[in-house]
Structure 1
């Protein structure tokens, strides 16, 4: 009896660790793909012309495709295969990397590296907090998601107003919101890992978790870049 209990405990612990590892491996892969795509696009004059020429129509099409992919992945997760979900996530990270190439055009390389390092530090610290805290972050997560919806509305309004002060405040709020969401998403992933197994359902949930962490990191990085980046 004790032997069986010990074996079951080890099995559950292994499944938990596999789920967490799988989630962060997907996130890391997405960041690498985005970084390579961004650097390659920024180094290719033809790609830049396709994106930012003709009133930046290429950039707008890519941006719409990004939003569509996230929506489709979220809505069809139950019905698509693990391979399909992973492929969509990879395509999304590739497209997002292409759009991120704009930062090489606007900011100097030192500012990009500094902002990336700052975002990585904040992400790691908040991930550790989300893992270590005994406090339930569910309520805080709901408030942060509500704040994010409000931020999106304000961002759309400021897209018309083009106020530098409001843009600065939006960037500050974005850092705060996504820093908090990093801890919330980390805790949510750890709780999901408690009941995870090697089924296709949990493999797809790991991809969604990786997407959430990826978006947390990217938004922190871009907001820090807008706040502290030195423009060319």
Structure 2
């Protein structure tokens, strides 16, 4: 009798574990699908801005004599910094916003991010952007897989990585005035390391969040969207910093 009871308990435990594994895989797939869809939308927006003259003229100023693009227009600068406004707004609204609103903010963010990505198509050759994109995708996949599978607790990295992000932002603002190639080299090197670490850390954090919100469909929707946004930002920053080292300029 006791043996049969133990077997039933073990069978029930195995079934519950399998159910959690299936649920976790579905949750992570949802996160990655959202992230990939966001990258696709950003890429489409960037391509439209870069290749459709009527749209290009809205976001870029050109030389009246030659017609060559000389820089961003006023609308272009507004569009360049608007994703930050959306991001900070989402951070303040995340707790009270509905799942639909959180997703709406996500799609707005990634669409606006396409304006900034169009700059990469102006600075670097199309071939090098495509090549570095696939290098970034392979690196991201390996880092995210490590974060998903490792038994090591990566939470200790969080404060260091966040400090690194702020340090990069401050250095980038300073270099806007200095224009130092050495400082830009250091910023890009630090950026690759910081966002590589964040990719692994965020993947582990997203995985752990699943266990915290499992069973609450509304909360799972919001955390999946927020997780996709975190991974999206990591990917885009890795791409930009790797382009500095590996991209060919126009």
The TM-score range, normalised by the shorter chain, is over 0.9
Matches within 5 A, 1:159-170: 159-170=176-187
- Is structure 2 residue 159 aligned with structure 1 residue 151? no
- 1:165 Cα deviation (Å)? 1.1
Aligned counterpart for 1:200 among listed residues 218, 232, 235: 218
- For residues 178-189 of structure 1, the aligned pairs below 5 Å read 178-189=195-206
Query: TM (normalized to structure 1)?
Result: 0.93
Kept in 2, the 8 Å contact 1:16–1:197? The answer is no
Q: Quick check: 197-206 or 3-12, which moved more?
A: 3-12
Q: 1:25 — aligned with what?
A: 33
1:171 to 2:188 alignment: yes
CA distance in 1, matches of 2:142, 2:158: 17
Deviation, 1:151, is: 1.4
1:25-60 deviation line (CA, Å, top 9, x unaligned): 111110111111111111111222211228621121
**Residue-pair matches, total:** 232
Is 1:75 aligned with 2:89?
no
Does residue 129 (structure 1) correspond to residue 146 (structure 2)? The answer is: yes
Supply the distance in 2 between the matched residues of 1:185 and 1:6 (Cα, whole angstroms). Answer: 28
CA positional deviation for 1:227:
1.9
Structure 1 unaligned blocks of 5 or more: none
Show the counterpart of 1:118.
Answer: 135
Deviations 1:69-111, CA, capped at 9 Å, x for gaps: 1111111011111111111111111111122112222211111
Q: Does 1:98 align with 2:115?
A: yes
Deviation at 1:198, TM superposition (A): 4.3
Say which of 46, 54, 58 aligns to 1:50: 58
Residue 129 of structure 1 deviates from its aligned partner by: 1.3
CA 1:129/1:6 → structure 2, altered by over 3 Å: closer, same or farther? Answer: closer
Q: CA deviation at 1:5?
A: 4.5
Q: Distance in 2 between matches of 1:28 and 1:113?
A: 16
Q: Which has more radius of gyration? A: 2
Q: Which residue of the partner structure matches residue 3 of structure 2?
A: none
Which sits farther off after the overlay, 129-138 or 171-180? 129-138
CA distance in 2 between counterparts of 1:4 and 1:128 reads 29
Residue aligned with 1:53, SS:
strand
Separation of aligned partners in 2, 1:220 and 1:204: 24
RMSD (Å) for aligned C-alpha atoms:
1.7
Q: Distance in 1 between matches of 2:14 and 2:143?
A: 33
Q: Residue 95 of structure 2: SS of its match in structure 1?
A: coil
Among 24, 28, 52, which residue is 1:16 paired with? 24
